Structure formats: structure tokens, C-alpha cells
Amino acid sequence: MSAWKLCSTLAAPIATFIALRRLSGTDYNSQAQLLGYFDRFLVDAHLNISRLTREVTDRYQQTLMRLAPRSRCNRLCVVKQLAEYLARTDALSYVPDSPRGPSSRAAHTPYIYSLSQMRSLLNAASDLPPPDSLRPQTYRTLLGLLYSTGIRIGEACALRLQDVHGDEQRLYIAAGKFRKARWVSMSDSTCRAVQQYVDRRLHRRPRALDSPLFINERDRPLHHATVNQTFHRLLQRSGIPTHTPNGPRIHDLRHTFAVHRLLAWYRDRADVNARLPWLATYMGHVNIQSTQVYLHATPELIEHVDRRFHQHYLQHVKPIKGTQR
């Protein structure tokens, strides 16, 4: 929001609201920028108001119709948050209804990769040129880490050498979403693969502990756009269809992790409902509702849910003997 200085008649309470949200430990930069757009709207529309009204919020909503549904929803959500804050000290301040999110048609349908497709992706990564370079192992380790831990691609690219704690089989995510740091445990096989990559990575510069874990052939940090381009080529080499409207994304590996984790719990006959909070914390979510976005009803998952329900019915919903019709 550095390009726009708050200068509407609501500039002071907006600035105070942003400061309070940042006290919670989040940077709130993206939301602050969206509030800057609202402040600019008030200035451009010459609205010298002392409180929010329905007419103002409705008028602002009309100016957003040119935006994509998700972008429009994001802007209205932060205005609603601001309105709720203002209403705490001004009972006459208007609080709009929660904006409707994008419809299911507008939302991207995640692609859940199968185990065989993951093996094909990892094999394709191992064959990346140039031969005998670090690049094949970089992408194989990166994709394997995304699939086996469900961390975000941005979190993976931000990892430093010092964030790998092989002895404890865990990673330290210092640059999580909203700057929420967390620890992420690794399985035995994942930890071995990451440690093998680190051992080879240390033959390249830079080697300081705060140096990037994943680097390119110029010894620079991996760039998100370059990773996406390479991933798209790996999809094609693996025979995974990419002709869908949005195509399989690298972020869908995070969705795949969540679904496969749920499947594993069903196979182990674990109490899935009791473990969902674990999954939410592991994935860096603030609540279970955020995690539910990643839980998709695949055919295999539906089969396990149906089987468990049937077993529960047989054990707990027994017919009453001796009843008469």
C-alpha cells in the first residue's frame, strides 16, 4: 500500500484498524492494500463521511463489478472487517452482510494426483537436463517434499539450509502464510531424500546456513514462475492431461497431500474427526474450516467413508427384537 497514502475522512480509523490487526502477528500487507483501494474510492468519490453507511458500501460494490469474483470478494471482506471494527464504537455505523464467494463454477477444481502419477512426475524430474547437474535432484526433492508434507510452494522456495533439521526429522517454516511460523515433521523416507539433497547441495555456493535450500543452475534461489514452467513440462512428460481449463497446478500437490492423508487415516481405522485439528495445524491453517477446502470427495475416499458408515450402522443401529407393526 506504499503507493497510496491514506487520506480520506476515514483514514485515521483505517490506519488504527490496520495497526491492531498487525498486533496479532500477521503482516496484513495484502489486506492493508485492499483497504487502501477503499480509501482511494472515498477520496475519488468526494465522500466526506464520518461513518460507514449502506449507500457508501453499495456504491463501492458497484465499482468492483469489473473485477473477477474472487478479487471482488476479497475487497468486500476487508471492508466488512473494517465496518465491524467501526461499529464497536459507533452503533450507527453500517455493517454489510458477508460477501458471497465465487461460485463453484468459478472456483478452480483441484486435481488430485494418483500415486502412479506422482511416481511418473518424480521420474520425469530425475531426467531433467543438464545431466549430472543439481537440477534433477532439486526438482525431484522439491516435488517430493510438496507431496509428502503438503507445504505451500512459496514456503518451500523460502526454505533455508538452516531450516532442515534432519536429526529431528522436521522442517522449520519461517515464512508461512501471514508470517505464521511452524514446524513440519517429515517421514523417514522424506527426511532421507531431503538430507541426501542437502549433502549434495552443500557442494555448491552459497553454503551459509541462511542460504536458500533450493537453488537453480546459477546458484540463485528458485523463482516461483520458473518452477511453474518446469512443472508444466514435467506434467506433459508424465502423460498427465493439461488441457483442462485451468490445468493441474503445482498447488494441487497440497490438495493431494490432504486427501491422501485422510485416506491413510481411514485405512488405519483412525478417528478422523479427532485428527482433523492435527491436519489443520500441520498445514498451517487457523481453523478446520480452512482445511476443509482441501478435502475432496474422490471415489476412493467415498468408498472408505461408505464402508465405515456401514460398519457403524451394523454395530450401533441394531434392529429392536420383538417389535410389532
Query: 261 and 205 in one domain?
Result: no
Boundary-marking domain end, from 237, 267, 285: 237
Could you read off the pLDDT of 141-169 as tens digits, one per residue? 999 999 999 999 999 999 999 999 999 99
Could you read off the pLDDT of 63-95 as tens digits, one per residue? 999 888 888 998 999 999 999 999 999 999 999
Query: 71 and 130 in one domain?
Result: no
Query: 70 and 157 in one domain?
Result: no
Query: 257 and 225 in one domain?
Result: no
Structural domain of residue 177, as residue ranges? 115-237
Question: Are 155 and 173 within 8 A, CB to CB?
Answer: yes
**Number of domains comprising the chain:** 3
Question: Are 189 and 145 within 8 A, CB to CB?
Answer: no
Q: What local confidence, expressed as pLDDT, does residue 1 receive?
A: 41
The answer as to whether 242 is a domain residue is no
| Orientation of helix 115-126 relative to helix 135-149, angle to 10° | 160
Exposed, middle or buried: residue 230 (CB in 10 Å: 0-12, 13-18, 19+)? buried
Angstrom distance (rounded) from CA 208 to CA 225? 25
CB contact set of 316 (below 8 Å; sequence gap of 6+) = none
**Of the listed ranges 208-217, 254-263, 282-291, 301-310, the one predicted with least confidence:** 301-310
Query: 258 and 203 in one domain?
Result: no
Say if residue 26's pLDDT is above 50.
yes
Residue located via cell numbers 472408505:
304
Query: 288 and 228 in one domain?
Result: no
The answer as to whether 103 is a domain residue is no
pTM value surpassing 0.85: no
Boundary-marking domain end, from 67, 87, 107: 87
- pLDDT-derived band at 325 (thresholds 50, 70, 90) equals very low
CB contact set of 16 (below 8 Å; sequence gap of 6+) = none
| Orientation of helix 11-22 relative to helix 69-87, angle to 10° | 100
